[in-house]
């Protein structure tokens, strides 16, 4: 059986991370389940020339963020884990508080309660104390907060190389090597 992943894209800047994750997971022959927040759909036009249908086409299954009864909202839905890329401060706060009014936050909550890996590419700066507390809270619940901070030791020459390195490192958290990371001293 293929490995299944839930990928959520929220309204924070950095849609390219979620899109590239979908592409990398497809190349790894993983099954993907995509959900995008309303803010993500709105922000899409500011960050990319891609249409919503083009992003949807990169996933095997797509859900509306309003569909809190979707398959990915249930603990009986077996998934290897979940990525939220990018993860907005709003979404981080919903997960930290357990207030699951959207499919994104509900799927994240289910991922945590089932003790599956949840990786949040939190995209906010500068941080205030509330952000820091929410990051501590979700970390204590079992999530991994992974801000997409670029690495410069591989000497990236393009934005794509920076994104690929971050996506590759996120996939490393699931022991997947997509060939995207230039490893330190290798």
pLDDT value at residue 32: 98
pLDDT value at residue 185: 81
pLDDT value at residue 1: 74
The span from the CA of 27 to the CA of 143, in Å, is 25
User: What is 4-172's CATH topology?
Assistant: Rossmann fold (3.40.50)
Q: Considering the entire predicted model, what is its pTM?
A: 0.96
Tens-of-pLDDT digits for all 186 residues of the chain? 789 999 999 999 999 999 999 999 999 999 999 999 999 999 998 999 999 999 999 999 999 999 999 999 999 999 999 999 999 999 999 999 999 999 999 999 999 999 999 999 999 999 999 999 999 999 999 999 999 999 999 999 999 999 999 999 999 999 999 999 988 887
pLDDT value at residue 165: 96
pLDDT value at residue 153: 92
3-state secondary structure string across the chain: CCCEEEEEECCCCCHHHHHHHHHHHHHCCCEEEEEECHHHHHHHHHHCCCCHHHHHCCCCEEEECCCCCCHHHCCCCCCCEEEEEEECHHHHHHHHHCCCCCHHHHHHHHHHHCCCEEEEEECCCCCCHHHHHHHHHHHHHCCEECCCCCCCCCCCCCHHHHHHHHHHHHHHCCCCCCCCCCCCCC
């Amino acid at each position: 059986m293929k490995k299944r992943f839930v990928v959520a894209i929220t309204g924070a800047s950095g849609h390219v991370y979620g899109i590239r994750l979908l592409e990398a997971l497809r190349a790894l022959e993983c099954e993907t389940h995509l959900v995008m927040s309303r803010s993500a759909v709105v922000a899409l036009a500011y960050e990319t020339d891609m249409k919503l249908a083009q992003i949807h086409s990169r996933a095997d299954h797509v859900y509306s963020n309003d569909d809190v009864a979707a398959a990915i909202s249930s603990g009986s839905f077996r998934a290897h884990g979940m990525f939220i890329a990018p993860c907005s401060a709003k979404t981080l706060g919903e997960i930290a508080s357990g207030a699951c009014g959207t499919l994104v936050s509900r799927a994240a909550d289910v991922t945590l309660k089932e003790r599956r890996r949840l990786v949040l590419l939190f995209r906010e700066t500068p941080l205030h104390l509330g952000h820091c507390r929410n990051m501590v809270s979700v970390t204590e619940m079992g999530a991994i907060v992974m801000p997409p901070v670029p690495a410069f030791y591989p000497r990236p020459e393009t934005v794509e190389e920076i994104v690929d390195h971050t996506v590759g490192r996120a996939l490393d958290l699931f022991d997947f090597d997509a060939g995207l990371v230039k490893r330190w001293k290798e």
